[in-house]
Amino acid sequence: MMLPLAKSANLLASCALVGLAAAAEVQPAPQQEGSPREWLEKMNSALAQRNYDGTFLHLSEGRVETMRIVHRVVGGEVTERLMSLDGSGREFVRNSTELTCYLPDKNTILVEPRQSSGPFFGTLPQFNPGVAQVYELNTLPGIRILGRAAHGISVSPKDQFRFGYRLWLDQQTGMPLKTQLCDSSGRLIEQIQFAHLEMPDSIPDSALKPSMPLAGMQIIRQAAHDDSVKKGAGFRAIELPPGFHLMVAGARMLSGLGDPVMHLVYSDGLATVSVFVEPGLAETHSPQQQELARVGSGFAFSTIVQGHQVTAVGEVPAQTVEFIANSVRLDDTATH
């Protein structure tokens, strides 16, 4: 049984859950020139700036889920919709300010401020100077997917604290047609591949509205980060895996909890770990109480630190969330 905050983190992670997927004929295809770094930049530009509407298969832990992604850009404003076609029936709609999670299996609509500017597919490699220190970028043989020539790239971790990627990008547009998440030894964890993809000039409003009946569903609104946390003492990870550093420190309201929860985000430039610190936990809890659970393709780990429940969750190996959560301590000097 997971600790209460780990359950909350699991629900939050479900709203950030996203991927790319599905069956395609694999045949050799000629590679185009360009470094892996240039291709990653081309991919992220395509994901951010193009209109696209596609269906993909998401393979994880032996299960396959069919999903649809719609991404529209109008005047620089992005609206996205992700929906499960044969699984949970969940849908996610994101605009420039909010992410709305429609969860029919929980009869709940969860609305929270948009926190990520990345693609709705979830974590995909981007290049910055720090990434090269902990990942190695290489070219893979090209293949054909959906009748399109696809350029191959690998992003391999240099240690055991993060996952790696294998990607095949459309040679004409840079769109990721197939992605694989792998552990440090190259073992496949998750695969996402398009079965159908269109990149139209325009997308109608109707394609971005939820399809399910909303009457009777409970609406839960998550508050934005409370920057007042920066004015006082806070918790911080006093030691981190190589390459990770603090990106965000603030407070959030989680459903079922009356007090704000401190939220810390650590990143190596690619992988991201969120840490939630619940204040005022009763001292009767055992300091040894710990719990590890799968959350999508990653892990959540909960422990007790100085009378507070600490949960780290991310699309990283189990030892990474354990490392970060166990290093969290109250830091009276922390102001940002």
Q: Give the model confidence (pLDDT) of 113-168 as tens digits.
A: 876 656 666 567 776 667 888 999 999 999 999 999 999 999 999 999 999 999 99
Q: Give the model confidence (pLDDT) of 87-115 as tens digits.
A: 788 999 999 889 999 999 889 999 988 76
Interval 202-209 mean pLDDT: 95
- Lowest mean per-residue pLDDT among 218-232, 273-287, 308-322: 218-232
Query: In 3-state terms, what secondary structure has residue 231?
Result: helix
Higher pLDDT, 174 or 232: 174
Choose from 17-31, 35-49, 213-227 the range with maximum mean pLDDT.
Answer: 35-49
Q: What is the CA radius of gyration of the chain?
A: 20
State whether 40 and 74 are in the same domain. yes
State whether 33 and 146 are in the same domain. yes
Residues 6+ apart with CB under 8 A from 235: 262, 264, 275, 277, 305, 308, 310, 328, 329, 330, 331, 334
State whether 246 and 178 are in the same domain. no
Q: Is residue 217 part of a domain?
A: no
Q: Give the residue carrying structure tokens 């997917």.
A: 145
Q: Are strands 291-295 and 298-305 parallel, antiparallel or unpaired?
A: antiparallel
- Lowest mean per-residue pLDDT among 10-14, 35-39, 298-302: 10-14
State whether 238 and 203 are in the same domain. no
Higher pLDDT, 304 or 128: 304
Q: Is the Cβ–Cβ distance between 140 and 153 less than 8 Å?
A: yes
Question: Is 289 a residue whose pLDDT tops 90?
Answer: no
Dihedral of alpha carbons 270, 82, 64, 43, sign: negative
State whether 271 and 176 are in the same domain. no
Q: Is residue 216 part of a domain?
A: no
Question: Is 69 a residue whose pLDDT tops 60?
Answer: yes
Proportion of the chain above pLDDT 90, given as a percent: 55
State whether 123 and 229 are in the same domain. no
Q: Is residue 215 part of a domain?
A: no
State whether 64 and 160 are in the same domain. yes
State whether 24 and 171 are in the same domain. yes
Q: Is residue 336 part of a domain?
A: no
Choose from 34-48, 241-255, 280-294 the range with maximum mean pLDDT.
Answer: 34-48
Choose from 64-68, 284-288, 293-297 the range with maximum mean pLDDT.
Answer: 64-68
For position 13, what pLDDT does the model report?
Answer: 47
Q: Is the Cβ–Cβ distance between 111 and 99 less than 8 Å?
A: yes
Question: Is 2 a residue whose pLDDT tops 50?
Answer: no
Q: For the purposes of burial, counting CB atoms within 10 Å of the CB of 117, is it exposed (0-12), middle (13-18) or buried (19 or more)?
A: exposed
Instruction: Show which of 166, 182, 208 is a domain's final residue.
Output: 208
Instruction: Show which of 208, 240, 262 is a domain's final residue.
Output: 208
Q: Is residue 96 part of a domain?
A: yes
- Lowest mean per-residue pLDDT among 162-166, 180-184, 254-258, 294-298: 254-258
Query: In 3-state terms, what secondary structure has residue 209?
Result: coil
- For residue 77, give its domain range: 4-208
Tell me the one-letter amino acid at 184: S
Write down the pTM of the prediction. 0.79
For position 23, what pLDDT does the model report?
Answer: 30
- Our separate counts of H helices and E strands in the chain read 4, 20
State whether 111 and 252 are in the same domain. no
For position 6, what pLDDT does the model report?
Answer: 45
Q: Is residue 219 part of a domain?
A: no
Tokens of 172: 């004409």
For position 129, what pLDDT does the model report?
Answer: 67
Q: What is the CATH number of the domain that holds 291?
A: 3.30.200.100
* Number of structural domains the chain divides into: 2
Q: Is residue 214 part of a domain?
A: no
For position 296, what pLDDT does the model report?
Answer: 83
For position 221, what pLDDT does the model report?
Answer: 86
Interval 216-233 mean pLDDT: 64
Q: Are strands 188-198 and 218-221 parallel, antiparallel or unpaired?
A: unpaired
State whether 73 and 196 are in the same domain. yes
State whether 117 and 241 are in the same domain. no
